[in-house]
Structure formats: structure tokens, C-alpha cells
Chains A and B, each alone.
Chain A
Amino acid sequence: QEKVQQSPESLIVPEGAMVSLNCSFSDSASQSIWWYQQHPGKGPKALISIFSNGNKKEGRLTVYLNRASLHVSLHIKDSQPSDSAVYLCAVNSNYQLIWGSGTKLIIKP
């Protein structure tokens, strides 16, 4: 059974800082890996996904995947107060999404 672990549990950074969130998984044969953002009282919203080793950039977001080390990271450039949310890593394993417990991010104005 795939296991997904996220770190840190919580993070407070000043506005404008670069944010780095980490996710480790257990199955190197997993398919795509997704990052979701969840604001209080809302459902998770998909941000970005990656399948192949390497990196993928979309706007202020960059995701890095290293299947050999079973690690994926999400980087948010020029963080804004509206980025304050819980970030969830989800690994697609055998066509089922396995979720991490999330990182709570607070951006201080």
C-alpha cells in the first residue's frame, strides 16, 4: 500500500518569500503526482501535476520529481497572503489517489 508523507506540518513565511513543500512516497511505480490547495471551508483544488522525472513550471509554481529518491517538492515563488492554505500531495497509485496529511502554510503580510 502506497504511503505518502508531507513535511513540514506547518510553515510560516513572510510575504514575497519562496516556499518549499516536500512530499515523499513509497512506490516508485506510482503514476502521476498531484498537488492540491485547500482553503478553510472549501474542497481541495488541483494546482499542478507531474509524471516524469524532472521539473514542471506553471506561473509561480514549480514542481520537482525524483523517482529514484521517491521525493517530490512544490515551490511557490513570490508568495502572497492568498497562498495561505493547506497543501496536499496526492500520489496516483494503481489508479487510486493516496493522500498526504498536508502542510499548513501561512504567509504573513
Chain B
Amino acid sequence: NAGVIQTPRHKVTGKGQEATLWCEPISGHSAVFWYRQTIVQGLEFLTYFRNQAPIDDSGMPKERFSAQMPNQSHSTLKIQSTQPQDSAVYLCASSLDRISNERLFFGHGTKLSVL
């Protein structure tokens, strides 16, 4: 099992450009999470899918961020019109089931740098 796979590992965008981040969860896991990590804010929850359905997007900045899970093998996080403050490590995690306090398995993250 390769674990949670995130691509790309690093992405550099210019201010105002779009960035799409990809995540492949562990096969058989029904819950997929997106987090953002910075030195200042630490780990921030963005959004969560269960069985591909969006369940909670309370952490998502509403205007420029969107996430999808078109099938059980991948999820995407899209950031439109990127801004320097979007620079962070974006982490994807999966678990067997959100409801039962299952441990999260994280990918290595995508480091986004907005110039």
C-alpha cells in the first residue's frame, strides 16, 4: 500500500493564477480530508468528504477555494486567483470512517508557493 499520494509535491504559481492539487486516498478508505498547514496558523481543517459526498466545508475560504471528489480514487483542491497568503503546505488525509474516531493517514503534502 503506497499510502495517500499527493501531487505535485511542490507548486509555484504567480499571483492571480489557478492551482489544482491532487490527492489519491488509500484504497478502501471512505473519508477524505483536506488541511492547510502554515508556521503561523498550524494545521487548519478545510473540507471533508465521506463516500465521495461533501460533508463539511466549514474551513474553506468561500470565494476562491473549491474541492471535488469525482470518484473514490481521487480528490482535487482548486484555488482560483491565488494570492501570496495562500502559500502553505496543503495536506490530504484519508481514514476508514470519520464517525468512529479513526486515525488519519496523511500524504506528504503539496507545498504551494505564490509569488
Task: Render B74-115 as a binary contact track against A, CB cut-off 8 A, 1 for contact.
Answer: 000000000000000001010000110101111111000000
A-B contact pairs, 21 of them (CB 8 A): A32-B101, A41-B108, A42-B106, A43-B4, A43-B91, A43-B107, A43-B109, A44-B106, A46-B103, A46-B104, A49-B103, A88-B43, A92-B101, A95-B98, A95-B101, A96-B56, A99-B42, A99-B43, A100-B42, A101-B42, A102-B42
Q: How large is the interface on B (under 10, 10 to 19, 20 to 34, 35 or more residues)?
A: 10 to 19
Do A96 and B45 touch (CB < 8 A)?
A: yes
B interface residues (Cβ-Cβ under 8 A, vs A): 4, 42-43, 45, 56, 91, 93, 98-99, 101, 103-109
Chain B residues whose CB sits within 8 angstroms of the CB of A100 once the complex forms: 42
Do A34 and B98 touch (CB < 8 A)?
A: no
A interface residues (Cβ-Cβ under 8 A, vs B): 31-32, 34, 41-46, 49, 51, 88, 92, 95-97, 99-102
- The distance in angstroms between the C-alpha atoms of A88 and B35, with both chains bound, is 14
Instruction: With both chains docked as a complex, state the minimum distance between the C-beta of A100 and any C-beta of chain B, in angstroms.
Output: 8
The 10 closest A-B pairs by CB, nearest first: A43-B106, A46-B103, A99-B43, A32-B101, A101-B42, A44-B106, A43-B91, A43-B107, A92-B101, A43-B109
Chain B residues whose CB sits within 8 angstroms of the CB of A92 once the complex forms: 101
Instruction: With both chains docked as a complex, state the minimum distance between the C-beta of A101 and any C-beta of chain B, in angstroms.
Output: 5
Instruction: With both chains docked as a complex, state the minimum distance between the C-beta of B77 and any C-beta of chain A, in angstroms.
Output: 15
Instruction: With both chains docked as a complex, state the minimum distance between the C-beta of A93 and any C-beta of chain B, in angstroms.
Output: 11
Q: Known A-B contacts: A32-B101, A46-B103. Give 4 more (CB < 8 A).
A: A43-B109, A51-B101, A92-B101, A102-B42
Instruction: With both chains docked as a complex, state the minimum distance between the C-beta of A58 and any C-beta of chain B, in angstroms.
Output: 13
Chain A residues whose CB sits within 8 angstroms of the CB of B91 once the complex forms: 43-44
